[in-house]
Chains A and B, each alone.
Chain A
Amino acid sequence: MSGIARTRLMNEHKAFRKDHKVGFYGSPEKREDGTSDLFKWICGIPGPIGSIWEGGSYRLIMEFTEDYPSKPPKCKFTPTLPHPNIYPSGTVCLSILNEDKDWRPSLSVKTILEGIQDLLVHPNISDPAQRAAFDTYRDNYEEYERTARLFASQNPPP
């Protein structure tokens, strides 16, 4: 049974190399011996053009279990992002990444990354994961924007 996740991830890797949106990247982490870890992907999400996140490329680690795609991967920005729905640990809080909410096995690395990119410009303030970013977003948007733009400039594409 454990072959399901592996086969699926191999196929997703092949598909991602052929088709992904501009500025996105994602591939299984390379180990020192040259082999790769299919269950841990190093990904990048570009800041949407025209948004306060534009110009940055945000590195994200995706960790899968043998239960994928029945269960979603854990997605974690490294470093974390100053955004209301990103935990201080970097973990992304998003309904499509929650198996009890909107996760569906038909989602893929490609569509997850696109969903997280959308979250950057559409925070959900009814379910904050990070106090500091949530407070500035709500009480001082100018400061929130300044922080985001600074963060974007500090995280250029690789």
Chain B
Amino acid sequence: MTDTATDKTVHLNVKVRSATGEEVYFKIKKNTALKKLMDAYCTRENLIPASVRFMFDGNRLKPTDTPEKLDMEDGDMIDASVEQTGGY
């Protein structure tokens, strides 16, 4: 097995897209909790983690989810949006 083949089984590339359409790419491990990706995105975009909603395949991401659990594939997209609360 080549290094690339091993890499494919352990890692995958996903993108996070903001509500305004900017895309940020991440290489993540299939069995690492997505909290790491969520935190990294927030740090990079200067956002407060509690204010950001991450959606994948119709569901809201939980920090404890892993790509493996969600059957994520190479090239999949996660949508990020900043929560807003009406009435203030």
B77 touches A17 (CB 8 A): yes
Q: With both chains docked as a complex, state the minimum distance between the C-beta of B14 and any C-beta of chain A, in angstroms.
A: 9
A22 touches B76 (CB 8 A): no
Q: Which of A111-158 contact B (CB under 8 A)?
A: 153, 156-158
- Count how many chain A residues have C-beta atoms less than 8 Å from C-beta atoms of the other chain: 16
Determine if A91 is an interface residue (Cβ-Cβ < 8 Å).
no
**Considering the chains assembled together, what is the distance between the CA atoms of A157 and B58 in angstroms?**
11
Determine if B39 is an interface residue (Cβ-Cβ < 8 Å).
no
- Write out the residue numbers on chain A whose beta carbons fall within 8 Å of the beta carbon of B73: 14, 17-18
In the complex formed, the residue of A with least CB distance to B17 is A22
Determine if A19 is an interface residue (Cβ-Cβ < 8 Å).
yes
In the complex formed, the residue of B with least CB distance to A18 is B75
Determine if B65 is an interface residue (Cβ-Cβ < 8 Å).
no
- Write out the residue numbers on chain B whose beta carbons fall within 8 Å of the beta carbon of A42: 58
Determine if A20 is an interface residue (Cβ-Cβ < 8 Å).
yes
Q: With both chains docked as a complex, state the minimum distance between the C-beta of A93 and any C-beta of chain B, in angstroms.
A: 25
| Chain B 12-52 per-residue mask, 1 if CB under 8 angstroms from chain A, else 0 | 00000101110000000000000000000000000000000
Known: A25-B55, A156-B86, A157-B81. A17 touches B76 (CB 8 A): yes
**Considering the chains assembled together, what is the distance between the CA atoms of A17 and B21 in angstroms?**
15
**Considering the chains assembled together, what is the distance between the CA atoms of A14 and B20 in angstroms?**
23
Provide a sorted-by-A list of 20 A–B residue pairs whose CB atoms are within 8 angstroms.
A17-B56, A17-B57, A17-B73, A17-B77, A18-B73, A18-B76, A18-B77, A22-B17, A22-B19, A22-B21, A22-B79, A23-B19, A23-B79, A25-B55, A25-B57, A27-B57, A27-B58, A42-B58, A153-B86, A157-B53
